[in-house]
Amino acid sequence: MKIRFIAGSAALAATLAVTACGSSSDSAGGPEKLTVWIMKDSVTEDFLTRFTEDFERRHQDLSLDIQIQEWDGIGEKVTAALASTDAPDVIEVGNTQVAQYAASGGVRDLTDRTEELSGADWLPGLAEPGKIDGKQYGIPWYAANRVVLYHKGHFAKAGIASPPATQDAWIEDTAKLNRGDVQGIYLPGQNWYTLAGFIWDEGGDLAARSGDGWKGTLDTREAIAGMDFYRRLQALGKGPKDSDEAKPPQAEVFAQGDVAQIISVPGGAKLIEETNPALKGKIGFFPVPGKAVGTPGAVLTGGSDLIVPEASAHQDGAYEVIKALAGDTWQTDMARTMSYVPNRTSLAGAVQDSEGTAAMAAGAARGRATPNSPQWAAVEATNPIKQYMTAVLTGADPTKAAREASGSITRTLGS
């Protein structure tokens, strides 16, 4: 068993095109060595050790060489590996990156394996971006998404006994909370991840296929309605209209004690408590509300998929690794160890003992991903969505601003 940390430099990425990744060094007569790339901090070393020991015990003819990859420069490194003749056998990739890698032609089509892997039960936010032109290249591994973190004390003082279950109730409760020195919600003006969910709730999208290409769709009636809800909610706090959740860090803002709600991954609560220990035990969680009772709002699903390069020398063994990581035993173990959402809706019960993760799992059932165009990363690089949001929040005509942003997205996706 090996677990190694590997640098993510561009120089090493280039080297991969002409050198081995480790899978070709199997000793004669020994077990096949499978090289598996896992991203840094995705899971703990203890989890990987336990998984490796169990896997090798159950597969005496296989051994694992797990290599931990840095996020910095990983795109170039994976692209080089997929183009090499001696690629790793399994690679963890961000769920929204699958389209980019599949476009290279170096990723194996695993469509015929989806039924055995319970594909009908996969979270849509992981499964959909892994499926390109009807073929499943990415196998869902784990998910994470945003929920609402709230200050229990402020809710109690406002007479709110339970979290809101619909968007309308959310607006009403936030207005009640927004009094005196208390902000009903701290929502920065450029939190486009949250906006995407509101747009999906209205039946719109950020972009859509158009013939053989893609076009921006922020100017549709549905998308404009989603932006209008964002505007109404954002106005019930003092969040800046021209920055995102990182500027300033919204956990630090909440930690000051005068904010009733933020939209964050549950792990944000730990950062808040580290900054202000007095808030320990006073933070609650609920799914982003949807338009109807019993239906959480749509959320942008982050997380990872697993892919098998076409150049893998051990295709059958690679599938066994994926089958194990995506199966019940290790999905449940990982969810409890890492507070992630499992890859299947039927496994949500594994995280019910954690309030924050349970809220995240409820939202994940309606999770979505960004448009699975290979060029979507280029859209995020310039991000006209953020500029559009600031324009609307500062008084620009919503229809005109949406049309301009959609045009920018269309041009980028067609480049």
Q: Which of 196, 191, 199, 197 is nearest to 222 (CA)?
A: 199
Q: What percent of the chain has pLDDT over 90?
A: 88
* Range 262-265 contact pairs with CB under 8 angstroms and sequence separation of 24 or more: 262/148, 262/149, 262/185, 262/186, 262/187, 263/146, 263/147, 263/148, 263/149, 263/185, 263/187, 263/191, 263/194, 263/288, 264/146, 264/147, 264/149, 265/144, 265/145, 265/146, 265/147, 265/360
Both tokens assigned to 293: 């009772």
User: 171-184, pLDDT tens digit by residue?
Assistant: 999 999 998 999 99
Domains of the chain by start residue, with CATH: 2-144+302-368 (3.40.190.10), 147-300+372-413 (3.40.190.10)
Tokens linked to 133 = 């032109």
Instruction: Please say if the pLDDT value at position 64 is more than 70.
Output: yes
What is the number of other CB atoms lying within 10 angstroms of the CB of residue 246?
Answer: 11
CA distance 399 to 406: 10
Residues 6+ apart with CB under 8 A from 109: 135, 136, 137
Of the pLDDT bands very low, low, confident and very high (cuts 50, 70, 90), residue 12 is very low
Sequence-ordered list of residues with C-beta below 8 angstroms from that of 84, at least 6 positions apart, any chain: 16, 17, 18, 21, 311
What confidence tens digit (pLDDT) does each residue in 246-261 have?
999 999 999 999 999 9
pLDDT in tens, 17-60: 333 344 444 556 789 999 999 999 999 999 999 999 999 999 99
CA distance 134 to 88: 25
Residue 295 host element (H or E):
none
For the cut 70, the answer to whether the pLDDT of residue 367 exceeds it is yes
pLDDT at 298 over 60: yes
Structure confidence by residue, pLDDT tens digits, 195-234: 999 999 999 999 999 998 999 999 999 999 999 999 999 9
pLDDT value at 150 more than 70: yes
Given a cut of 70, whether residue 4 has pLDDT beyond it is: no
pLDDT band of residue 104 (cuts 50, 70, 90) is confident
Q: What is the DSSP string of 359-383?
A: HHHHHHTTEE-----TTHHHHHHH-
Output DSSP code: residue 46.
Answer: H
* Residue of 374, 205, 348, 340 whose CA lies nearest to 267: 340
**Cis peptide bond N-terminal to 249, omega within 30:** no
pLDDT at 16: 35
Sheet strands (E) in 235-360: 261-264, 283-286, 299-300, 302-307
**Whole-number Å distance between alpha carbons of 300 and 197:** 6
